[in-house]
């Protein structure tokens, strides 16, 4: 199903490749921090390139040269906001890697749970956002989390990449987002460690 027209820079057509100027990683991070700030304060629906440009002290042209649409910019901000890169986690065991990962998730759960939930809600009604999240954020999470499982296979902890691997992002982030709804508190490290031992590891080892 075709999505709605994507918000583009005036004069830009869908078949024109944008030539992105060089931007330092530090400046890109500043822009993405501005995106997250507007998201937390105004929500996805009210977020606009004008608001982000004002917050980041740059022109809208700068934003559109770096990201083709609002949805792409938000997906990039969500990836940059990850508390840890799963590929950088290597404790020597699958359980250790997962515990290190959820420890990092728990450290930002209070700050980020509402943000993640709001983005998920927006994706239910915005086809462009949903498609962009699927092709960038979801694939990023799956690819990077799969590295942990590939290492476990190499170490002999798993015989093969388990069938439950495709659900690992949903398991981890679902636990973080839903705990406030089911138990009235944010997902802390103790809660997520129990979730890893009782749910995630059994699913991975027996699929």
What's the pLDDT band for 21 if we cut at 50, 70, 90? Answer: low
What pLDDT is recorded for position 6? 44
Residue with the larger pLDDT of the pair 6 and 56: 56
- Note the pLDDT tens digit of each residue in 107-121: 888 888 888 878 888
Same domain, 98 and 51: no
Question: Hey, what long-range contacts does 187-190 have (CB within 8 A, 24 or more apart)?
Answer: 187/105, 187/106, 187/109, 187/113, 188/106, 188/109, 189/102, 189/103, 189/106, 189/107
Q: What is the mean pLDDT of residues 3-11?
A: 43
Q: State the pLDDT confidence band at 12, using cuts at 50, 70 and 90.
A: very low
User: Is 74 in the same domain as 89?
Assistant: no
Structural domain count, the chain: 2
End-to-end CA distance of the chain: 33
Same domain? 172 vs 118: yes
Task: Kindly state the percentage of the chain with pLDDT values over 90.
Answer: 55
Of 47, 78, 109, the residue at which a domain comes to its end is 78
CATH assignment at residue 187: 1.10.357
Whether residues 95 and 174 share a domain: the answer is yes
| Residue 120 exposed, middle or buried by CB count within 10 Å (0-12, 13-18, 19+) | middle
Whether residue 106 is predicted with pLDDT greater than 50 in this model: the reply is yes
Do residues 111 and 143 share a domain?
A: yes
Range of weakest confidence among 40-44, 82-86, 185-189: 82-86
pLDDT tens digits for 35-64?
Answer: 999 998 889 999 999 999 999 999 999 999
Residues 54 and 90 in one domain: no
Last residue of a domain, one of 52, 78, 104: 78
Residue 161 and residue 187 in one domain: yes
Mean pLDDT, rounded, of the chain: 85
Quick one: average pLDDT of 25-38? Answer: 92
Give mean pLDDT, residues 4-8: 44
Residue 13 clears pLDDT 60, i.e. is over it = no
Q: Which domain holds residue 62?
A: 1-78
Residues 88 and 8 in one domain: no
Same-domain status, 91 and 191 = yes
Q: Is the pLDDT of residue 163 over 80?
A: yes
Helix, strand, coil shares, percent, the chain, to 5:
70, 0, 30
């Amino acid at each position: 199903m075709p999505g709605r027209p994507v918000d583009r820079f005036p004069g830009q057509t869908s078949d024109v490749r944008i030539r992105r100027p060089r931007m330092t990683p530090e400046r890109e991070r500043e822009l993405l921090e501005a995106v997250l700030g507007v998201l937390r304060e105004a929500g996805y629906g009210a977020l606009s390139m004008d608001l982000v440009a004002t917050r980041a002290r740059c022109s809208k042209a700068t934003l559109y040269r770096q990201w083709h649409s609002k949805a792409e910019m938000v997906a990039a901000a969500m990836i940059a906001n990850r508390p840890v890169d799963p590929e950088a986690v290597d404790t020597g065991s699958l359980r250790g890697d997962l515990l290190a990962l959820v420890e990092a998730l728990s450290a930002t759960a209070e700050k980020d749970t509402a943000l993640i939930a709001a983005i998920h809600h927006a994706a239910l009604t915005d086809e462009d956002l949903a498609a962009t999240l699927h092709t960038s954020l979801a694939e990023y999470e799956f690819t990077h989390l799969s590295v942990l499982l590939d290492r476990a296979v190499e170490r002999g902890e798993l015989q093969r990449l388990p069938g439950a691997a495709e659900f690992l992002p949903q398991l981890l982030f679902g636990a973080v987002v839903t705990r406030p709804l089911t138990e009235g508190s944010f997902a802390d490290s103790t809660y997520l460690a129990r979730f890893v031992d009782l749910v995630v590891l059994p699913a991975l080892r027996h699929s």
